[in-house]
Amino acid sequence: MADTMQFDLVSPERSLASLQVTSVRIPGADGDMTAMPDHAPVITTLRPGILHVESAEGTAEYAVTGGFAQIASSGTSVLAEKAMPVAEVKAEDLDAIVAAAEAGVKDTEGAACDAAEKLLADLAALRAALNI
């Protein structure tokens, strides 16, 4: 078993990380999961949350608002809708995302409304985790 794997984190704005890691804890839509070297191949959607990355240099944390993660035996790639290092997140950043999600709740019905309400709950949990 390999000790490390390649990890890449990208968002539409920029590439945030590309390094060798020992593990990545992913806020998956169906629950948190940890990717490690030689993991079975999986593709999952992300929910708003904190992505934890463990490497030889230490731990890095990134706030993500959604997207996809592709886990393969050779590495993990995360394609985030919006992502930023936790240290860079400001209340104003989340306020804009929450406002957009609230507008989505008002404009939807049925299952789509349920999904929009879940998004709002996930964003509230992300805000709480970030203490902002």
Task: State yes or no: pLDDT of 2 exceeds 70.
Answer: no
Q: Kindly give, in sequence order, each residue whose CB lies less than 8 Å from that of residue 35, ignoring residues fewer than 6 positions away.
A: 5, 23, 24, 26, 42, 69, 71, 76
Domains for the chain: give ranges and CATH numbers: 5-86 (2.60.15.10), 90-127 (no CATH)
Tell me the CB-side half-sphere exposure of residue 111, using CA atoms within 13 A. Answer: 0
* Mean pLDDT score of the chain: 90
Task: State yes or no: pLDDT of 60 exceeds 60.
Answer: yes
* 29 vs 73, higher pLDDT: 29
Q: Tell me the residue type at 115.
A: A
Q: Which of 8-17, 79-88, 104-113 comes out lowest in average pLDDT?
A: 104-113
Q: Kindly give, in sequence order, each residue whose CB lies less than 8 Å from that of residue 129, ignoring residues fewer than 6 positions away.
A: 49, 50
In whole angstroms, give the CA distance from residue 132 to residue 129: 8
Q: How far is CA 95 from CA 43, 83, 111, 114, 120, in A?
A: 29, 15, 24, 20, 11
* 126 vs 78, higher pLDDT: 78
pLDDT for 78? 98
